[in-house]
């Protein structure tokens, strides 16, 4: 094998962490996400809940219709991040390169460490054992010649599974008569396009390559390669500066038609974006405003800016964008910065030479927060750090909505 890739994927991660910490939840249909009666979706759920047809990204109202007896909980993102750090520390120890996909998922290049399939198998079993013994959770692991094959393998025997796909031929033999959606990147809309042309299985993709490419362009070329087991991508460690944008958004429990409130919420969202940008030493060269209206129509509006990582600037640019959108009831609002660059790639600005300019911006942020405290009778003193936690942010925004 020219390349040996391990894909590790935790089993129902959020739910499993909660069950580990509260054994009374074991064996029960646990649904992590929004609560019944709230707007939102399922983040993840236990395997007991999946027996009722509940799955990730399902509307929470539909989840409750299918499983009213389920136990519903908000996610504790900070706890999951802490556990994720422990997991990746274990996994990364066995790889020459580790590509983090999510809190609970990663690709590991173990070519040098494993040398062959048997060595990779030993590493995979060690990872599974250490994850269980040291973290108290189970994971599913796939070993293969490519990233796509490794991910496919890890999903093959879930939960707590292990599977190998040593060669492209093994991949094709496994997938040939499966639905096109079993291939990486083929989602519902892409599948519907293929179905309309009688392309329903991986075999059909192989036999109708020209049609697939004509229908889907570059994506069709990629899917056609996958149908033959071809995936030459390398495991590439994630770098924050490789992200396309940094953003934060919130969904209101009731539609908001008060655009003054939206501007106030954008203060908190801009602070969240600033914090993450500064954590990674990144600057945005543009600001994007996102709105989803009551009828589920979403829009984005963007402005190019000078390099910024300051909440005051992000907020000011977002408000300029907000002032020029259609004024209708809003379900979701978000802000992000894009065209990211690090300190080393950022052009020097006049602000860099005048510390008073930066001080003015810091003072502006302080005034913005003081205005929110006065308007909504909030108290950020000593508690501002909690705003960056998703659950606290949502609760604060809902409090503001009810007390405008």
Catalytically annotated residues = 105
Count Cα neighbours of 166 within 13 Å in the Cβ-side half-sphere. Answer: 7
Q: Which long-range contacts (CB under 8 A, 24 or more apart) does 372-379 make?
A: 372/264, 372/267, 372/268, 372/400, 375/264, 376/264, 376/400, 376/403, 376/404, 377/403
β-partners of residue 288 are 302, 336
Three-state secondary structure readout of 147-183: HHHHHHHHHHCCCCCEEEECCHHHHHHHHCCCEHHHC
Task: Please provide the DSSP assignment of 64-86 as one string.
Answer: HHH-TTSEEE---HHHHHHHHHH
For residue 349, give the 3-state DSSP assignment: coil
For residue 334, give the 3-state DSSP assignment: strand
Helix (H) or strand (E) holding 226: helix 218-227
C-alpha 319/C-alpha 305 separation (Å) is: 14
Q: What is the DSSP letter of 53?
A: T
- Decide: 264 and 378 in contact? Cβ < 8 Å: no
- Decide: 235 and 95 in contact? Cβ < 8 Å: yes
Torsion, Cα 191 194 199 203, to 10 degrees, reads -60
User: Could you count the other beta carbons within 10 Å of the beta carbon of residue 104?
Assistant: 23
C-alpha 151/C-alpha 182 separation (Å) is: 11
Count Cα neighbours of 187 within 13 Å in the Cβ-side half-sphere. Answer: 3
């Amino acid at each position: 094998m020219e390349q040996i890739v391990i894909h590790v994927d935790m089993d129902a991660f959020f739910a499993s962490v909660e069950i580990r910490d509260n054994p009374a939840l074991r064996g029960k249909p646990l649904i992590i996400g929004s609560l019944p009666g709230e707007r939102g979706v399922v983040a993840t759920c236990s395997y007991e809940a999946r027996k009722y047809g509940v799955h990730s990204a399902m509307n929470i109202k539909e989840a409750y219709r299918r499983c009213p007896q389920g136990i519903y909980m908000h996610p504790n993102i900070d706890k999951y991040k802490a556990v994720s750090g422990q997991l990746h520390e274990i996994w990364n120890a066995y790889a020459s390169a580790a590509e983090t996909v999510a809190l609970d998922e990663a690709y590991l290049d173990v070519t040098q460490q494993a040398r062959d399939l048997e060595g990779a198998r030993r590493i995979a079993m060690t990872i599974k054992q250490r994850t269980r013994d040291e973290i108290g959770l189970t994971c599913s692991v796939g070993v293969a010649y490519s990233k796509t094959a490794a991910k496919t393998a890890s999903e093959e025997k879930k939960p707590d599974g292990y599977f190998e796909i040593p060669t492209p031929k093994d991949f094709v033999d496994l997938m040939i008569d499966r639905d096109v959606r079993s291939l990486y990147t083929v989602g519902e809309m892409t599948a519907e396009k293929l179905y309309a042309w009688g392309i329903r299985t991986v075999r059909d993709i192989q036999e109708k390559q020209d049609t697939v490419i004509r229908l889907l362009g570059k994506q069709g070329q990629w899917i056609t390669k996958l149908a033959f087991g071809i995936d030459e991508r390398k495991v590439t460690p994630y770098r924050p500066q490789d992200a396309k944008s940094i953003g934060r958004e919130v969904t209101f429990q009731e539609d908001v038609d008060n655009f003054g409130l939206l501007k106030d919420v954008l203060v908190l969202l801009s602070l969240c974006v600033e914090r993450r940008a500064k954590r990674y030493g990144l600057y945005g060269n543009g600001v994007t405003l996102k709105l989803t209206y009551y009828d589920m129509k979403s829009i984005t509006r963007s402005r190019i800016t000078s390099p910024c990582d300051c909440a005051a600037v992000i907020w000011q640019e977002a408000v300029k964008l907000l002032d020029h959108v259609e004024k209708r009831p809003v379900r979701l609002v978000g802000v992000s910065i894009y065209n990211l660059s690090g300190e080393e790639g950022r052009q020097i600005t006049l602000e860099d030479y005048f510390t008073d300019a930066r001080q003015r911006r810091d003072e502006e942020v302080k005034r913005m927060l003081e205005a929110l405290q006065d308007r909504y009778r909030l108290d950020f003193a000593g508690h501002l750090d909690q705003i960056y936690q998703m659950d606290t942010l949502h609760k604060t925004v809902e409090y503001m909505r009810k007390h405008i």
